[in-house]
Structure 1
Amino acid sequence: MSAFSDSNFKSSNYSSFRPSYDESLFKYIATEYHKGEYDLALDLGSGTGQATYPLTKYFKKVIGTDLSSTMIATANSKITEEFKDKIEFKVSPAEESPFLPDQSVDLITAAQCAHWFNHPKFFQEVDRILKPNGTLAIWGYIDPVFNIEEIDNFALEFMYGDKYLGPYWENPGRLILRKKFKDVIPPSNIFEDEVVFEHDPRLQNKAGSSPLIIKKTLPFETYFNYTKTWSSYHSWKKQNPDKEEIADWYYKKLQSKTGWTPQTIVNYEFITILKLVRKIKR
């Protein structure tokens, strides 16, 4: 996570090229799973607000927090008149929200960030600020899948191979995400009604029941720009300033394998995980 907190990290690129979430995800969380009130939502690890803004449709006030002052500065610069009374962004770690009173939050979300948390401290703080019957929803997307075996294998080798970006992912965070939060266990004395949705487009029986489906149909060049938002790429660049640009190498290799041009429309879909729990009334 330190890569995203680096002052050199291009938060504008993160905002432009990272996947967004379909409205159906927020509708499911807010209207089908959530049974509490709708006064305040807290979006942890908000980045520039990809998952923060959609919550304003359902909650009177939404606060986004992130450890990265760079991300929060970008988020604050984009607040329009329409949202100035409904949304705010603060620099704060997920494990500490000292600006919030006890039992003051109705929904807490953590999109593409819960794998970085100190989980015992995180759950302790959630217990403090979340109202009884309030909802905690954490989710993430993992690897993009083209469903073209040769390309998917090459992409995985580039992402995780020792010769490429593998050593530059921050662990155990990335491993926790790849294991789909199986080691992130909400304490049973605090939470109940756990619901988990896993989606893997590589499986023949895709089920399609998850509210978190992320499909992309866009120019190949946009996928390439997305790879440059990876924390592993940022770390690689910082540690190898004089080497051939590794993302450009990957881009050229994919072009040679596929014949894709920058404007070729490509399709890919993400492996995703969504986990929801409700705070016990006690």
Structure 2
Amino acid sequence: MHRIAFFGPEGTFTEQAARSLSGGEAAAELVPYETIAGAMAAVRGGETSAACVPVENSVEGPVTATLDELAEDEPLVAVAEALLPIHFTVLARHDLAAADVRTVASHPHALAQVRGWLSANLPAARQVATASTAAAALAVQSGEYDAAVAAPVAAEHYDLAAIATDVADVEDARTRFLLLQRPGRLPEPTGCDRTSVVAAAANRTGALSELLTELAFRGINLTRLDARPIKGGFGEYRFFIDFEGHVAEPRIGDALAALRRRCAVRFLGSHPRADGVPASIQPAAGNEDFVNATDWVESVRRGDTA
């Protein structure tokens, strides 16, 4: 049985994602780590074969801890992803009514996603940020806080009562999670894939535009673009770029080679998209077009045709 690290403790949305990505609870041992960095370090150190971590939320945007860890230290690559709807359960001690809640704890991203609900339903409660939604539930169980905004799975792990379920200010809020492994054999292309890279572009006019133009010239559609500062280089940034397609495809390989010619690039993975959306192929930008063009150039070099 292989082991999968996840951003814990037990009872987080990341645990739910890890369950789905592991193929079921019996298929792998899920090991909680207190931080995203800790979960990823477990893979790098060989303690686990993979790590499940959040990478972006449709309301709060990128999970910067994940992005920074992907850009630094030994490389890890994403081999799968999960997309979870984010609706929360508000947990409290069994002897406490909602009207008596004076403190409510959760991860900052979670608090931001239920700000309206808290204002309407627990207006007297002081909001407290914790390291994770599960850490908040654990703190409530120990008597540190009155209530926690947590993932539904937390109710399985902690002896608390649900005072509200299916809580969300944005009904279709979702978080995307990655399954990370050390570099090795990649998943086969499916036609509904996502490739991710991080590029350290030069700090000069037009540098980012040049990178994006390489993708646009090849008809490749972006699905995400984020910038993060480079430590020790004020005003210098890394760009995290997700786009449709798989590195095994000629058009994607051609684009990656072009990006690499322009700047330092770290490959972060190619894997099937959780939403199953197929890549949009522009006219004259299909894989067969790239293969035919390369074959034509080779024939010219051989002198077979003009």
What is the TM-score when the length of structure 2 is the normalising length?
Answer: 0.28
Larger RCO (CA under 8 A, 6+ residues apart): 1
Kindly name which structure, 1 or 2, has the bigger radius of gyration based on alpha carbons.
2
Structure having the higher helix fraction is 1
What is the TM-score when the length of structure 1 is the normalising length?
Answer: 0.30
